[in-house]
Each structure stands twice: as C-alpha cells, then as structure tokens.
Amino acid sequence: MTDLDTPTALPTTGLPSTAPRAIRSVRVEVVTGPDAGACLRGAAERIVIGTHRTADLVLTDRTVSRFHVELEITGDAVHLRDLGSRNGTLLDGVELEAARLRGPTIVSIGQSELRIDLLGDTVTLELAPQERFGALVGASPVMRLAFARLHGAALRDGHVLIEGERGTGKDTAAAALHELGTRKDGPLDVIDCGMPALEVEALLFGRGDFPRSPAFAGSLHHGASVLERCHGGTLILDDVGGLARNTQRVLVRALEERSVRRLHGGDPYPADVRVIALSRRNLRVDVNSDRFAPDLFEVLAATRIRIPPLRERPEDVPLLIARVLGELEATGTAAAAELQTPESLEQLRGAAWPGNVRELRAHVEATVAANGTPAADAHTVPLVDGSLPLREARDRWVRYFERTYVAELLVRTSGNVSAAAALAGVDRVYMHRMVTRAGLREKLSRDRK
C-alpha cells in the first residue's frame, strides 16, 4: 500500500479571508490485472496513475500508458481525466475523456480494473502566511497553496516545472524563484522554446551564430552557449513543450552531467544550471504521445507547481486591480473609482478571463487610459492630428467610438446592459467591461436610482 506524502506545514498567521484548505482522502485499489492488490491511499489535489516511475500509483501493466489517468479531488467528488492514454479509460464499457465520480466506482485502464473510493477523513493543506511571492499577489487559498510550494522550491536547488494557462504569471513566478532562491547571485537567462528549433539548439548548446531574439538582433553568439553562461545560475525555459525531440535528448545529458559540449567538439564546458521550465500544456499528455521525452520530464518535474487560472480565484480580483492601479500610479483617479465600485467588482469577479491576470491587467490599463481623456474629448469627434503617433491618434478615435456607441446602446435599452449586449452581439460581461471602460458606470448607477 502506498501513502501520498502530506505537504510540509508552514507557519500561518490566520489571515481573515483564507482558511487552510481541506482535501478528502481517496483510496485507489487495483482489483484485477497484473498489479491486483496494489493500493494507494492519501490526500492530494491531483493523483496520477500510470507506469512511469514518477506517477503516484505506479503499475506494471504494459497496456497502461506512462501517465494514464489523473484524479482531481474537489469537495465531495473525484474528477477523473484521461491523459491521452494509448488504450483509453473505460467506465461500464464506455470510453471516457473526463467524468465526475460521486461514489465508489470501478474503471478499466488497459488490462487492469481500479476501484476508486472517496473517503470521509480529510487532510488539511497548510497555506503560506503571506499574500505574495515576489511580484505575484493573491489571498485566495489556491494561490497561498501555490505560494507555499514556491517558497519550498526557493529553499531547494533542484529543477522546477511550473504549469499554468497563458497569462497566469508563470514567468513572474520563475523570476521570483531565482530572486529568492539559493542562486540569486548567479546569472539568469531566458529562452523561448517556441522559437525555430535550430535557433533554440544554437542558444542552448552553442551551435552556430544566431541572434538571441528580435530584441537582440545585433548581437550574435559565437560559440558560447546559454548553458555555459548560466553556470552557477538559473535558466528559464519558456514553453518547454516546444523543444524539438533531439534537443530534449541532448538537454537531458547536459543537465545530468552538468556540462555541455559544443558542436565542433573539444572538452566539455561546466554548466551547473538550475532549470525552471514553464508550460501551459499538460506535459504528461505530451509524454504519452511521445512529443516530450519521459526522461526529460522526470528531470524537470522533480518539483511541479501549478499556478491556478483567475477563474479559480475570483476573490483575488479586487487585490489584483488595486495592485495594477498602484503600479500605474492611478490609485486615486476616476478610473480607480469606476473599477472599484461594488457593482463593477461583482462583474469583474464573475468574468471568465480566458487570458487570466494578463487580460485583467490589460482591462485596468485600458480603463485608466480611457479615463485619462478629458470629458469634452469623449463627446467631441477627435481631430486627425498628423503630429501624433499612430497608436495615440488611433486610441483617441477608439475611445470616442466606444463611448458614443455604448452610450447610444444604453439610451436605446433604457440602461439595460443585458439588452445592450444583445443588440451589440457581445457577451453581457464584455458589455459591462465596455461600460466601465467608457466611463459610464457612475452615470448608469445614477440613472437607475
């Protein structure tokens, strides 16, 4: 029987808005198959079952994929998700991609059957006492749980894999890990693995003369690799899933040997580098499909940290808005007043935010910019001024159009935002954002009284 490790508890300060997060225990038993009798019992947010040795429950069934199925425990249910397995996951003979399990359930993977039981006992995951880690902020339980794990990773020196959707702040978390970690005085570099494969290979291993990025188009690398230059420091690999398969193979060897050999031979150069890998995809799915090397995954995922999307922590929206307003030096402005009304905050908390924190920041910046235009300008057709930069001239016309258009819609619908959204052919939440951005929120509130 296997027990999951409980995360190390951190001292807490009892912040009023966040309580420790309780996770119910789960029991997974192999009922039939080569591993019959094998059992896992424990509590964790996610449990992975497969044949790879880093899985939580490791099976020997050769018809089971490396990372076959993932169980996510939330409240009184277990959410099962197939990880792109080779032979699928079956429930009563029906193949599943995802399912919500409420009671004891038997599922089939490969030649094995698993019984999954959600138990009554719970384990409390202690949260970090602080509401920030580096430049990341959040008071929600899911973010403070992430902060606790980031804090633990900063105290260690191993490689880290940070996963999360686009715009969640993975790059910010990686920078903070370096700044607060044991290698903070060493060099730091970043490679976008989504660049052309040959350019990425040249940067990593010193193969050829390629510009590092468009921002450094004039500086070529003659021989020396990023791994050499980051000796004793940190290398951030953004979008690590974009690495070519051959590059992955060479990188594994360089990280294991802590040295790199250039293309034209010669003695290896020392490359004692800590890698922080960022991915918006589930790399376990890529391992199953052979797009990502299992041995590189094992090296990088010694510590895995997930940054949750904004929709999982809506209570953090007011804190994030206040943070962006402070950075823009717009705390006491009309834009701040518009954004921080109870009605506006309610709408913003309920938005989907597919672009996550990055999208919220863009919304706040646009609102501040729109409110920076004098009231008279909002009602006056802008002049075509050739002395202005294109972006500024265009923004004036966009602000004028949006305000005029939204104001007209609200007049036609007697202030009914849902009806205005229907007329415009946009989502109601998006129309609420346009109302705020156009500086019409206060007028709309007055008209309703």
DSSP state for residue 112 in the 8-state scheme: E
DSSP state for residue 3 in the 8-state scheme: E
Q: What total of structural domains would you count in the chain?
A: 4
The reply to whether 1 falls in a domain is: no
Mean pLDDT for the stretch of residues 142-160? 95
User: What domain range is 428 assigned to?
Assistant: 384-448
Please state which of the ranges 33-37, 133-137, 266-270, 299-303 shows the lowest mean pLDDT. 266-270
DSSP state for residue 319 in the 8-state scheme: H
Please determine, for residue 218, whether its predicted confidence score (pLDDT) is greater than 70: no
The reply to whether 105 falls in a domain is: yes
Q: Which two tokens stand for residue 176?
A: 């903070």
Query: In this predicted model, what pLDDT tens digit does every residue of 60-108 receive, in sequence order?
Result: 999 999 999 999 988 888 999 999 999 999 998 899 999 999 889 999 9
The reply to whether 41 falls in a domain is: yes
DSSP state for residue 213 in the 8-state scheme: -
Q: Which of 306, 327, 356 is the last residue of a domain?
A: 306
Question: Does 394 lie in the same domain as 376?
Answer: no
pLDDT at 211: 42
Phi, psi of 310 (to 5 degrees): -65, -30
Question: Does 295 lie in the same domain as 182?
Answer: yes
Q: Residue 30 in 3-state DSSP?
A: strand
Query: Rounded to two decimals, what is the model's pTM?
Result: 0.74
The reply to whether 216 falls in a domain is: no
Q: Which of 381, 407, 426 is the last residue of a domain?
A: 381
Query: In this predicted model, what pLDDT tens digit does every residue of 28-42 receive, in sequence order?
Result: 999 999 999 999 998
| E-assigned strand segments in 93-141 | 94-96, 98-101, 105-109, 112-125, 132-133, 136-137
Question: Does 155 lie in the same domain as 101?
Answer: no
pLDDT at 446: 64
* Helix, strand, coil percentages, rounded to 5, for the chain: 40, 20, 40
Query: In this predicted model, what pLDDT tens digit does every residue of 326-368 receive, in sequence order?
Result: 888 788 888 899 899 999 999 999 999 999 999 999 899 888 8
Classify 353 in phi/psi space as left (phi over 0), alpha (psi -120 to 50) or beta.
left
pLDDT at 308: 95
Identify which has the larger pLDDT, 295 or 17: 295
CA distance 227 to 221: 12
Question: Does 425 lie in the same domain as 343?
Answer: no
The distance in angstroms from the start CA to the end CA of the chain is 65
Which residue has 């350019």 as its token pair? 199
CA distance 312 to 14: 21
How many residues would you count in the chain? 449
Question: Does 152 lie in the same domain as 255?
Answer: yes
What is each CA distance from 407 to 414, 423, 439, 441, in whole angstroms?
10, 13, 10, 11
Q: Which of 381, 415, 439 is the last residue of a domain?
A: 381
Classify 33 in phi/psi space as left (phi over 0), alpha (psi -120 to 50) or beta.
left
Sequence letter at residue 416: N
Question: Does 275 lie in the same domain as 404?
Answer: no
The reply to whether 218 falls in a domain is: no
Question: Does 204 lie in the same domain as 178?
Answer: yes
Q: Residue 281's Cα: distance from chain center in Å? A: 9
The reply to whether 214 falls in a domain is: no
